[in-house]
Structure 1
């Protein structure tokens, strides 16, 4: 098979393919065998009808048309691979394509949209900020504060203290409906309550404001659409007292040795989380920096394709999690229109980031070799990577892998030269000096086009796509003390706002 490429206007190319005589002859033989076995022709056993009889029954041109389809389908994808272009959309064929002739080479052509070549506003090293590795004292302090904030005690205020809008009370509540019947669900004795927590309506809170210890008050409110009469006695006006962080309290609450041990475990947990997140964050911010250098608009056809893929992946994820689309929208406080707009913007950004990586690769002279492609299949975890690669080549899907590898190489190049500053916590004005990123191999781009493209062509490709390696290793599990602290924090966070922790 021979292939030639002619550049056209509007990011399109014309690819001309010549399939040699031997391939045409072989396809005619295969097609006639299939037709002979498919049809029962009087006077001949199934599968034994000669060509002439088949031509008379089905029509010679009909057979040639079927062979033509088979030849084009078999060679088109491989021609795209051979042309070393990255297609956008499907090939466009002429309506009057000639039919193949048995015993002769066959030439045909088609037009194809290809990824446009954009230029970046600059190709110097990108710069961005990242959180520091490990855990800072400020981060540990914040975590300790958030943890201990849930462990408080309430003490009685002075006898003449009044209930404030955001205060706390111990109260006894009696409630009756319009018929005078007691409503047990609303009654309580010695209940501790924080105003503004939402457990009771705002009108109920307003009635309590200004009351003192021992005072009693009756009032009527609309509660869940019906009138309810309340009789409330303030047993005590209370205030919240933060528990003192001591070695004894840490040991009894978390099972750790002391405060230093608690801080150590929290520090290790923060460092572990950062180790898992920072590689991805580094990639994302490098891509954001590249995106700012793209001045061209993303081609609509590419955006539509990316949008379809994002929506497909999103609903597959919802299905795996057992969620409905309506439940997701409610949880995110989104309307369907806002969701569509968000997806479209994300698709446009994804396309522009990909085109930026293509531009970087072109400017840096980055290329993809057959060895690079084979290495990608070798990393896929397939039992026979060579056989999987051959099936992809036979199906004309190698350009998908090449494109993903090219963009991954470009991303690694960007990361190797990136200038990274240390991101400071809010409130800290001074910035530390910039430091160059270590020249170690960048993590794999999560959504590399080898995966995305392969998924799009899954119906055509006969084999499983190469699996991408994860870029960040899972951090080692925290020790028992850290787990206890984490569990205690979650347990505390789940307590109602108007109840004190033990």
Structure 2
């Protein structure tokens, strides 16, 4: 590639976040490119009567066509200079550029001018630049949190005892159930027939229609009913798909059960959980909560701050940016599945969602990410968070590559430095928003009450601040500096954060 050859760039704002960039390339550079291309063609092709590399220009033009060299030079100069021009103008393209159809070809002794149009990232504003207000769990481990964790442990060691005979079956009851099942032809279904089994309503083993028939029954009562084999089979009805359309049941409630949790005593703690006593258990649980919060609370704070900031964004978010974020999320997701050796179908089944629901979730998350990014951009502009050339160079040094200067130059010539700059600015903006945030400490019980209203901690958008910039950079297979400028988190980590965040609250 020739040395930087455009000598002038002009930017004209158009409608719908589009700009027109006009680039002028110096005549001296055009002549050098034409000379080099003729020489390359003389070596590349065989011209009768001339040794390799010795064919004169008229012979080459006659053999290949008079426009062969100008067309090649034109393509080269445009492809090499437009990324540099976009970067020089500090533009952030969100779509591929379109070039003027009447561009023409280069000519010896003349400067070459061409223009392009491209959609760029909009400069939206926030409704307010005051500190965001968020609720956060306390940093320490309260007695209530320790109690809650211990109660969750007890849930793993429950037992059942018979309830009073007059107790009615409810939607979440457990009961001893005698059952006989037959198919359409009246034949016994051995897999469902049992003289007695412990069954819990709402566990999904049987269809909801089966559970509904049991609600309200008491110990000793019998009942006969039929249900349709569901289109989406449950664990117990899966083997019957295609074999019968209905299942006929004869059931008897032998006992309604009460769940009994173990009492937390020194003896139970030692024999069952392996701790010295209750005090030792509480100390260990408190330590675990503290360790968990040290890891998760910063991420919860970041998620809350970014969500609050995005709510202030004014203006429409470009669809192209949302689509780009969606593509990035899908690439990350399927790479993670591949690393884990899990199929997409298996993932959907495990999560209990349909492909359409998955697509909707990804699209919604991409929109949230884009709003957060544009909100951070607005914050950085408002507070004049300038990114210097030294800042960019430092990012490449931090990447740990053997030759950071060489890599930075490659990125510059590819027109990618704006992604690094943007990543640095967004990271600084996020840190500033978090530092200035007005934080209200919420007691564990209150945090749990608000969990349904505040999904921030459970959002998979627990990303670092310039995920999309890095995704662009990764597409060029030059990753290290972008990872430093815009760190990204694996989906597994995000899911773990969501679970830990819920526990921490």
SS, match of residue 482 in structure 2? coil
Tell me which residue corresponds to 1:88: 94
Q: Deviations over 1:433-454 (max 9, x none)?
A: xxxxxxxxxx982544431332
Tell me which residue corresponds to 1:31: 37
Given that 2:399 and 2:480 are in contact with CA atoms closer than 8 Å, whether structure 1 keeps it comes out as: no
Given that 2:470 and 2:483 are in contact with CA atoms closer than 8 Å, whether structure 1 keeps it comes out as: yes
**1:36-51 to 2 correspondences below 5 Å:** 36-51=42-57
TM-score, normalised to structure 1, is: 0.76
Q: Deviations over 1:216-235 (max 9, x none)?
A: x796867964666868694x
SS, match of residue 87 in structure 1? coil
TM-score, normalised to structure 2, is: 0.76
**Cα displacement (A) at 1:398:** 1.1
Tell me which residue corresponds to 1:9: 14
The separation in 2 between residues aligned to 1:233 and 1:298, in whole angstroms, is 58
Question: Which residue of 261, 277, 282 corresponds with 1:242?
Answer: 261
Cα 1:326/1:357, change in 2 over 3 Å: same
Tell me which residue corresponds to 2:291: 272
Question: Which residue of 331, 342, 366 corresponds with 1:347?
Answer: 366
Cα 1:110/1:470, change in 2 over 3 Å: closer
**Cα displacement (A) at 1:282:** 1.7
Given that 1:21 and 1:105 are in contact with CA atoms closer than 8 Å, whether structure 2 keeps it comes out as: yes
**Cα displacement (A) at 1:164:** 3.4
The separation in 1 between residues aligned to 2:292 and 2:303, in whole angstroms, is 17
Tell me which residue corresponds to 2:408: 389
Tell me which residue corresponds to 1:451: 470
Larger radius of gyration: 1
**1:329-368 to 2 correspondences below 5 Å:** 329=348, 332=351, 334=353, 338-368=357-387
Given that 2:169 and 2:256 are in contact with CA atoms closer than 8 Å, whether structure 1 keeps it comes out as: no
SS, match of residue 112 in structure 1? strand
**Structure 1 residues 283-292 or 98-107, which shifts more?**
98-107
Aligned positions, number: 453
Tell me which residue corresponds to 1:211: 219
**1:91-106 to 2 correspondences below 5 Å:** 91-106=97-112
Tell me which residue corresponds to 1:165: 169
The separation in 2 between residues aligned to 1:61 and 1:76, in whole angstroms, is 22
**Structure 1 residues 329-338 or 282-291, which shifts more?**
329-338
**Cα displacement (A) at 1:145:** 0.8
Tell me which residue corresponds to 2:79: 73
**1:480-499 to 2 correspondences below 5 Å:** none
Tell me which residue corresponds to 2:458: none
**Cα displacement (A) at 1:99:** 2.3
Given that 2:100 and 2:114 are in contact with CA atoms closer than 8 Å, whether structure 1 keeps it comes out as: no
Cα 1:191/1:48, change in 2 over 3 Å: same
SS, match of residue 4 in structure 1? strand
Q: Deviations over 1:46-90 (max 9, x none)?
A: 444333321221123221110111112111111112222222323
The separation in 2 between residues aligned to 1:296 and 1:198, in whole angstroms, is 45
Cα 1:3/1:329, change in 2 over 3 Å: farther
Tell me which residue corresponds to 2:60: 54
Tell me which residue corresponds to 1:496: none
Q: Deviations over 1:226-267 (max 9, x none)?
A: 666868694x76544322111121112122211222222222
**Cα displacement (A) at 1:364:** 0.9
SS, match of residue 68 in structure 1? helix
**Structure 1 residues 169-178 or 52-61, which shifts more?**
169-178
Question: Which residue of 426, 436, 447 corresponds with 1:407?
Answer: 426
SS, match of residue 377 in structure 1? helix
**1:110-121 to 2 correspondences below 5 Å:** 110-121=116-127
Tell me which residue corresponds to 2:24: 18
Structure 1: which 5+ residue stretches go unaligned? Answer: 432-442, 473-485, 487-502
Question: Which residue of 468, 478, 483 corresponds with 1:467?
Answer: 483
Tell me which residue corresponds to 1:140: 146
Cα 1:28/1:129, change in 2 over 3 Å: same
Given that 2:181 and 2:192 are in contact with CA atoms closer than 8 Å, whether structure 1 keeps it comes out as: yes
**Structure 1 residues 295-304 or 409-418, which shifts more?**
295-304
Q: For the aligned residues, what is the CA RMSD? A: 3.9
Given that 2:74 and 2:106 are in contact with CA atoms closer than 8 Å, whether structure 1 keeps it comes out as: yes
